Amino acid sequence: GNSVTQMEGPVTLSEEAFLTINCTYTATGYPSLFWYVQYPGEGLQLLLKATKADDKGSNKGFEATYRKETTSFHLEKGSVQVSDSAVYFCARLSYEGSYIPTFGRGTSLIVHP
């Protein structure tokens, strides 16, 4: 079935460090890929998305490139801030009889001053 695998957290970084959160997906169909972010005490909100191979999604300094050859959609940011501390979810969406999104388990990011 469809699945999304994320690196386990928590990821702990110092402010201004480089961030990578790995995400891989099952290759069934041609999914759209998403990163959602959940700040403490809130619901998830879309961070970025990519709908086809080699597309790059970007927002708020975060980037992720849809890599079909490696079935990956890794999230990166060149210089994290304390305010980036949150839980990040990778997700895929494709038609497999119905459009049901599949979420990864989430990766917690903690950024220290």
- Quote the distance between the C-alpha of residue 52 and its chain's center: 15
Among 18, 53, 79, 95, binds another protein (CB under 8 A): 95
Closer to another protein by Cβ: residue 42 or 113 = 42
User: What is the spatial distance between Cα 29 and Cα 12, in angstroms, rounded to a whole number?
Assistant: 34
Rg of the chain, C-alpha, whole Å: 14
First and final CA of the chain: distance in angstroms? 41
With contacts defined by CB under 8 A, how many residues of the chain interact with another protein? 24
65 part of the interface to another protein, by CB under 8 A? no
Q: Which residues bind another protein (CB under 8 A)?
A: 32, 34, 36, 41-46, 49, 51, 89, 91, 93-95, 98-101, 103-106
